[in-house]
Amino acid sequence: MPKYWFRQKSFGYGATPNTWQGWLLTIVGCAALFGVVLFGPAIRDNGLRVVWMVLGSAVVLVPTCWIAYAKTEGGWRWHNGDDR
């Protein structure tokens, strides 16, 4: 049985970190996204800046969310608190 890094949220949609690996993935993903956003203003051309922000965010968020989804016990679905 694989070890899951995230658990389903009690309320809403998605997952929350459950192990140190989940927290590490969350922190690294947030730091990488912060780096993309922080470097954006250094690009003088507005069109290139938009491309950088959109593609850079996608390059960080898509793999991070995919790994989190794959490592969540039971997957992601909507919870209203009493359907566990």
Q: What is the pLDDT of residues 42-83, one digit of tens each?
A: 888 888 889 999 999 999 999 999 999 999 988 788 877 665
- Residue 67, domain member (yes or no): yes
- Residue 49, domain member (yes or no): yes
- Domain total in the chain: 1
Task: State the Cα torsion 59-54-51-47 to the nearest 10°.
Answer: -160
Nearest CA to 17 out of 82, 64, 81 is that of 64
The answer to whether 64 and 1 have CB atoms below 8 angstroms apart is: no
Put simply, whether the predicted model's pTM sits higher than 0.85 gets the answer no
- Residue 24, domain member (yes or no): yes
| Domain housing 61 | 20-71
- Residue 27, domain member (yes or no): yes
End-to-end CA distance of the chain: 21
Q: Calculate the average pLDDT of the chain.
A: 87
Task: Determine the Cα–Cα distance for residues 71 and 56; give it in Å rounded to an integer.
Answer: 23
Residue 2 has what pLDDT?
67
- Residue 52, domain member (yes or no): yes
Residue 84 has what pLDDT?
52
- The rounded percent of the chain whose pLDDT value lies above 90 is 49
Residue 80 has what pLDDT?
78
Task: Determine the Cα–Cα distance for residues 50 and 22; give it in Å rounded to an integer.
Answer: 30
- Residue 77, domain member (yes or no): no
- Residue 79, domain member (yes or no): no
- Residue 46, domain member (yes or no): yes
